[in-house]
Amino acid sequence: MEIQYLPVAASRLPSIDFQHLGFGEVFSDHMFLMEFEGGAWKSARIVPFGPIEMLPSACCLHYGQIVFEGIKAFRTASGSVQIFRPDKYHERFNRSCRRLCIPEIDFDTFLTALRELVAKDRDWVPRQKGYSLYIRPFVFASDSYIGVRVSKTYRFLIITSPVGAYYKEGFNPVSLITSTEYIRAAPGGLGMAKTPANYAASLLPAQEAIQKGFSQILWLDATERRYIEEVGTMNIFFCVAGRLLTPSLEGTILAGITRDSVIRIAKDWGIPLEERKISIEEILEASRKGSLQEVFGTGTAAVISPVGLIRHREESITINGGQTGPLAKKLYEEITGIQYGEKPDRFHWCVSVD
Ligand SMILES: *Cc1c(COP(=O)(O)O)cnc(C)c1O
């Protein structure tokens, strides 16, 4: 693939305070762009980050035919820059595209775009441990048409953002509340796709959770409001009596890459692991009996996010005294160790941009 390159006249890098990076507020100098027209992806280019022109009649603005991804690049101690599991993210990207009737992008094109863009902005990859370059590929339907149908044209972009910790709590436990009123995704719906509609549906419930003093919603299944699904930006794991449990992927849950990494590592460590339906009642019961040891969420942004408290209807449970548990800590250290090149990449997860 031929990528045109139009560099910025002057880098914004000197104006960025790398000591106080939040999440997703600052964007690197360049972005990648290409268009789908006449049945093919074309005009691949890396240009200065900035506004894009689009018509107000672009169909994505009206009907949400959009897919995105969230990937990270890390700087190792030796100064090299590597992307974590781009093949898995690409696989999921195309899976989401199929669900949204968006043309797929082949792995070669996807990876080349990622690597070239990150390589051009490699000075934007933070140097502090715990910090990284968040990569946001996304594709949207661009036909100028406000009837409902599958678009014939699309735009694919990648923007990148140097980030610190995702949660303001840092690596401290978050609190979750179930919703008896709202659902995130229904069977046959969009739950398995990384698409904005799922987030749009979650905003009001999340806002109400925050007003009640919780960090996020712990989603239950749409049919019975009984089985635990995920947290909306994270998948969820429970450590019960030495076993690791996580909800099985039934089409309503996003198949997290961090979830997959945790499963691979846990199996490698010989920790008994069960992917199956888990009811909220089972977890409350385990807590009452004292066998619920740890709960943590997994996601690219936060990696591992310990859960200290869960509320369901009238009942609240505190997990591990509201403290980060040893398994969450060990998994966090293992995954970030691999990402920052401090531990052997024994699963071949990291791809260098150089
Ligand atoms: C992205 C996402 C996750 C986490 O997936 P990772 O690949 O681990 O980042 C979990 N749930 C939802 C709804 C998501 O969009």
Q: Please state which CATH class domain 174-339 belongs to.
A: alpha beta
The lowest-confidence range among 17-21, 86-90, 177-181 is 17-21
Instruction: Sketch the domain layout of the chain as residue ranges.
Output: 4-164, 174-339
Q: pLDDT tens, 150-188?
A: 999 999 999 999 998 665 555 789 999 999 999 999 999
Tell me the per-residue pLDDT of 128-151, one tens digit each, with 9 for 90 and over: 888 999 999 999 999 999 999 999
State the pTM of this model.
Answer: 0.97
Atom of ligand 1 at shortest range from CA of 184: 13
Q: Which of 228, 234, 335 to mutate to test ligand 1, by most ligand atoms within 8 A of the CB atom?
A: 234
Query: What architecture is domain 4-164?
Result: 2-Layer Sandwich (3.30)
Nearest ligand 1 atom to the CA of 88 is 7
Of all protein residues, whose CA lies closest to atom 13 belonging to ligand 1?
A: 232
CA 138 to ligand 1 center in whole angstroms: 14
Query: Ligand 1 centroid to 111 CA: how many Å?
Result: 20
Q: How far is the CA of 2 from the centre of ligand 1 (A)?
A: 31
CA of 229 to the centre of ligand 1 (A): 12
Average pLDDT over residues 14-38: 95
Query: How much is the average pLDDT of 203-226?
Result: 97
User: Measured from the CA of 232, which atom of ligand 1 is nearest?
Assistant: 13
Buried-state track 8-19, b at ≥16 Cβ within 10 A, e below 16: beebeeeebeee
Q: Whose CA is nearest to atom 10 of ligand 1?
A: 234
Tell me the residue type at 108: D
Q: How far is the CA of 147 from the centre of ligand 1 (A)?
A: 31
Residues with CB under 6 A from ligand 1: 70, 194, 198, 230, 232-235, 254, 256-259, 298-300
- Give residue-wise pLDDT tens across range 260-277: 999 999 999 999 999 999
Residue to substitute in 217, 219, 235 for testing ligand 1 pocket (most ligand atoms within 8 angstroms of CB): 235
Q: What is the pLDDT of residues 316-345, one digit of tens each?
A: 999 999 999 999 999 999 999 999 999 999
Say how many Å lie between the CA of residue 94 and the centre of ligand 1: 15
What is the residue-averaged pLDDT of the chain? 96
The predicted structure's pLDDT at residue 354: 87
The two structure tokens encoding residue 276: 């199956």
- Residue 1 is predicted with a pLDDT of 84
